[in-house]
Amino acid sequence: MATESPDVPDPYPEFLAHVRRVSYLNDAGSVLGWDQQVTMPESGTPARSKQSAALSSVTHDLLTDERVGEWLDDLAEADLAADRRAVVREVRREHERAASVPEELVSEISETASNALPVWEQAKAEDDFEAFAPTLEEMVELKREYAAAIDPDRDPYAVLFEEYEPYLGLDTAERVLERLRDELVPLIEEVEASDVDLADPFPGEYDPDTQEKLVRTALDELGYNWERGRLDTAPHPFSTGTQFDARVTTRFDPADPLGALGSTIHEFGHATYTLGLPDDQYGTPLGESRDLSVHESQSRLWENHVGRSRAFAEYFTPRVNDHLATDVSPREFYEAANRIYPDNPIRVEADELTYHMHIILRFEIERDLISGDLDVSEVPAVWNDRMAEYLGVRPEGAGEGCLQDIHWTHGNFGYFPTYSLGSVLAAQLYASAAEEVGGLEEGIREGEFDALHEWLTENVHRHGCRYETDDLVREATGEAFTADHFLEYARRKFGDLYEL
Amino acid sequence: MATESPDVPDPYPEFLAHVRRVSYLNDAGSVLGWDQQVTMPESGTPARSKQSAALSSVTHDLLTDERVGEWLDDLAEADLAADRRAVVREVRREHERAASVPEELVSEISETASNALPVWEQAKAEDDFEAFAPTLEEMVELKREYAAAIDPDRDPYAVLFEEYEPYLGLDTAERVLERLRDELVPLIEEVEASDVDLADPFPGEYDPDTQEKLVRTALDELGYNWERGRLDTAPHPFSTGTQFDARVTTRFDPADPLGALGSTIHEFGHATYTLGLPDDQYGTPLGESRDLSVHESQSRLWENHVGRSRAFAEYFTPRVNDHLATDVSPREFYEAANRIYPDNPIRVEADELTYHMHIILRFEIERDLISGDLDVSEVPAVWNDRMAEYLGVRPEGAGEGCLQDIHWTHGNFGYFPTYSLGSVLAAQLYASAAEEVGGLEEGIREGEFDALHEWLTENVHRHGCRYETDDLVREATGEAFTADHFLEYARRKFGDLYEL
């Protein structure tokens, strides 16, 4: 569709074949990652690290190949149709980022992260922040260099944030997170002050086989496409794959069957996004999912707006009772799924509401670390003070405080905000779906999820990376990215549950 | 260790880093293959094919990179230590093969094989050789071109055979296979004429879970290193991996528990070879296994010389009885594991003796197809006549005749002989081990397999590709590759069992 003159060969097909190759190799790397976390025997690590590194390295070489720069320059001159323009835009961004960071710096970060892992694990186990501090300092410094290599003239934290969320802008993220902080802190205080005690009707222990049958039933009913997926267990649940093969993992805690159910539905949400990408665009940006906030919006939408809804409780509670041999009412299930407990200092165990305070805390600290406004040595004190301020809880040691997450050990500064942005977007998308799909809630009460799948596929999944994130949100919902819907949803739901 | 002048940088380290990278990517491809056969949902095929093809393609590019040719030329001039010479020898062979075949031909063969698969599947199901004949003709022609690209002056079948077994020589293979034919046909006739009926003490059905517990017990007792491996099921059992992670697959037929046991021990044998390769040479030819005959010798040694021995029967039968709730004597187990049944036309179901007639038949036909002495249209008649001649059985249709195996559909001409060569080498190696390890058989009777593992690791595994195959055999056994030991073993064992 490029309107080149007939004498000049259209570079697009060769460019696209190269792009696909890079994408296929990236996906091969994901298969290695899945295997490592799900099936690989532990002693396989040394070989797997080398295989994954070799694969990353050839993929990086292909992405930064100078021919890619030449094709991009040629295509910048061409009169391309919208889809091709989107492909060129996405590849240019990836290429320029990859090409601007020296390979030695990439290797140094990767090596530092590898070496940091056991240091972090031990420091966490021993509540010993001092032992981890030099490593964290080194990583902060390296990531500053990384940001400067990409763009020395911009706020380094903004540059890092764009690695995970390129098209919303850090200013939008900051605005949204500040608003969440300002409005959720008082809401949480109200909840804490409430006399209402929500039901906690699963006091027993439920063996993993029983829980697995329950979560498989949930996946069946929600419409997981087993022909293009599978369920396994992993220490840290995740979802990965392509539109042809999008897998889900979960984990089972005997004392917490709702934990496994929620986590499975969360990963199912991620998988639905991947499975909704168009088959015929596999390997191109139009067949790839948008970035982390949008991905997280899909997992949170299914986990919270469906899985923790009253309608779903009415539909699914009999199945829970069948599997767990309990006698829980839909109301009790609904309450159990929505209990708020600010006194837990661990992010991954947090409830739907206080979760965001954990994120905001991390966001504030990592932004100040990267800018240099905060010294590494100050992290534990700031962390603990802010936990007390936001949630009224003070971690007993660094292990359940500032050392609890792996992200900084990996050098992932700028990642945390996307979790909350995902929740915010989930509420915005769900509100639009509810407005446009007649009887959405009534459907869920009957176990009818097709209409929601269709709306999400039509408005989000099938576009892949066609639109920049902010445009995708506007196309899907008719308005800019906003926290309005999330805050309204949270106030309504928890106001009702806690009789505020 | 290269004695270059100090002014010229030693190219070896850079060369070796490149070689390792190729090897890591090959191993990444094996992970993708394992996943495809064991865990991948069926609908994942289109994406997986593209991922695997991209990985093969970049690996091929790296292997045929002109720098590799330059390094090899430089190193050919250098005075290298023996280990480095071996590395250079192996890489040169791979590089020259890969570089001599035009990429278009590689792609054409790969594409033809892909397209051939459904044609073959349908033709096999419908006993319709005519439907497959044009595809087979095309593949024969392509593989002739392939051989000519590598060396236009040599027998093309010999060139193809060396793809799977580079260092034994087709003349040796031919001599050994002819001798097997000449000596096994009369032995099989004697067995058929015998009045002895061996025991068949497993007439029941045994559910897969029960069988799995049995084969896991066998792997435990034989000394499988679970920290570096795992057991799964696959439609066609195989073993794959590295010295850090060597996995085994099996399959279960309710009516045939000994089938699963034998197949598991066979794949375990392959895995022991991989696990015996030196960790510190991972990624170099010294950390990679020798070719198919040697690999197959390890699987056959454990499957037949251990698993089908009287000593193992004495040790393992009580465990079989425990798991299967049977009351079989060691003698009955031994007889059941060694029954000869020439009337089965299917290779993969054949017994230890008649198996080789299936191989010889295929070898003769594929050799004549490649040389042009046999026309594709003649294959079914020649196949059926020779089955009648060698085994006294005539397949009822092409599905259980010349269409039963997938090898030719994949273009793998020259592969079949390595199965029999592996059995022959297994007997030769086992005879040496028995001579050098005191009380080997007594040990097996007590469940003591360490001494055998050690002998095999010491004499075969730890060398990787240090020696060419014929030298490896000579180093390990003190004599050239020979069928003497296999024929002696077969005559003694089956002569005894069938009272010949």
Residue-wise pLDDT tens digits, A120-148:
999 999 999 999 999 999 999 999 999 99
Query: CA-CA-CA-CA torsion for B364, B369, B373, B374, nearest 10 degrees?
Result: 90
pLDDT tier for residue A6 given thresholds of 50, 70 and 90 = low
Chain A residues with beta carbon closer than 8 angstroms to that of B247: 41
pLDDT tens by residue, B486-499: 999 999 999 999 99
Q: pLDDT tens, B28-64?
A: 999 999 999 999 998 999 999 999 999 999 999 999 9
> What pLDDT does B2 receive?
47
Residue A479, pLDDT > 50, answer yes
> Rg of chain A's alpha carbons, rounded to an integer?
23
Residue A8, pLDDT > 90, answer no
The structure tokens listed for B447 are 């469940």
A394 near B CB under 8 A: no
Residue A1: predicted pLDDT: 46
Nearest to B86 by CA among B207, B201, B208, B1: B1
Residues A244-260: tens digit of each pLDDT:
999 999 999 999 999 99
Smallest CA–CA distance, residue A230 to chain B, in Å, is: 7
| Contact between B323 and B485 (Cβ < 8 Å) | no
Which residue among B39, B46, B242 sits closest to A47, beta carbon to beta carbon? B242
How many residues in chain A?
A: 500
pLDDT in tens, B325-378: 999 999 999 999 999 999 999 999 999 999 999 999 999 999 999 999 999 999
The answer to whether residue A182 neighbours chain B at the CB level (below 8 Å) is no
Separation CA A432–CA A459 (nearest Å): 10
Q: Which of B28, B230, B247 sits opposite A32 (nearest CB)?
A: B28
How many Å apart are CA A381 and CA A386, to the nearest integer?
8
A232 sits in which H/E element: strand A231-233
Structure tokens at B207: 């559910």
Say if residue A286's pLDDT is above 50.
yes
**What whole-number percentage of chain A has pLDDT above 90?**
96
Which residues between 327 and 386 in chain B have a beta carbon less than 8 angstroms from any beta carbon of chain A? none
Does A107 contact B at CB distance below 8 Å?
A: no
**Beta-carbon neighbour count of residue A251 at 10 Å?**
17
Q: In the predicted model, what is the mean pLDDT of chain A?
A: 96
Compute the nearest-CA separation of A225 from chain B (Å).
Answer: 10
Between B455 and A8, name the one with better pLDDT.
B455
Q: What is the pLDDT of residue B1?
A: 46
Backbone torsions φ then ψ of A415, nearest 5 degrees:
-85, -45
Residues above pLDDT 70, as percent of chain B: 98
> Rounded mean pLDDT of B112-135?
95
Q: Which residue has the tokens 């006194």?
A: A343
Q: For CA atoms B183, B185, B190, B191, give the dihedral sign.
A: positive
Q: Which of B21, B31, B242 sits opposite A54 (nearest CB)?
A: B21
Q: What is the mean pLDDT of chain B?
A: 96
Contact B299, B420 (CB under 8 A): no
Q: What is the model's pLDDT at position B369?
A: 98
Q: Using the beta-carbon criterion (under 8 Å), do B44 and A230 form an inter-chain contact?
A: no
**Is the CB of A244 less than 8 angstroms away from the CB of B47?**
yes
A58/B25 touch (CB, cutoff 8 Å), yes or no: yes
CA separation for the pair B368, B379 (Å, rounded):
10
- Out of B24, B229, B279, the one facing A54 most closely (by C-beta) is B24
Quote ipTM for the complex.
Answer: 0.94
- Residue ranges of A 15-34 with Cβ closer than 8 A to chain B: 20-21, 24-25, 27-28, 31-32, 34
pLDDT of B176-205, one tens digit each? 999 999 999 999 999 999 999 999 999 999
A12 pLDDT above the threshold of 70: yes
**pLDDT value, residue B405:** 96
* Report field, pTM of the whole predicted structure over 0.90: yes
Among residues B165, B267, B288, B303, the one annotated as catalytic is: B267
Q: What is the pLDDT of residue A7?
A: 66
Q: Does A411 touch chain B (CB under 8 A)?
A: no
Which residues is A249 bridged to in the sheet? A232
Per-residue model confidence as pLDDT tens digits over B435-487? 999 999 999 999 999 999 999 999 999 999 999 999 999 999 999 999 999 99
Q: What is the pLDDT of residues B2-21, one digit of tens each?
A: 444 556 689 999 999 999 99
What tokens appear for B341 in the block? 């049944």
Cβ distance B50 to A20 less than 8 Å, yes or no, reads yes
- pLDDT one-digit tens code per residue, B386-403: 999 999 999 999 999 999
The single residue of A165, A267, A296, A335 carrying the catalytic annotation is A267
CA atoms within 13 A on the CB side of B227: 2
DSSP-derived letter for residue A236 is S
A364 belongs to the catalytic site = no
Whether residue B228 and residue A279 make contact (CB cut-off 8 A), yes or no, is no
Q: Which pLDDT score, from 0 to 100, does residue B326 have? A: 97
Which residues of chain B lie closer than 8 angstroms to A51, CB-CB? 24-25, 27-28, 31
Any A CB within 8 A of B41 CB = yes
Here the tokens at position A441 are 């809630």
Which residue shows structure tokens 């044609």? Answer: B119
Q: How far apart are CA B456 and CA B282, in angstroms?
A: 19
Using CA coordinates, name the residue in chain A closest to B245: A44
User: Of the candidates B327, B345, B336, B277, which has an alpha carbon nearest to the alpha carbon of residue B308?
Assistant: B336
The angle, 0 to 180 degrees and rounded to 10, between the axes of the packed helices B129-150 and B379-391 is 90
A234 lies within 8 A of chain B by CB: no
Domains belonging to chain B, first-starting first, are: 12-100 (no CATH), 127-500 (1.10.1370.30)
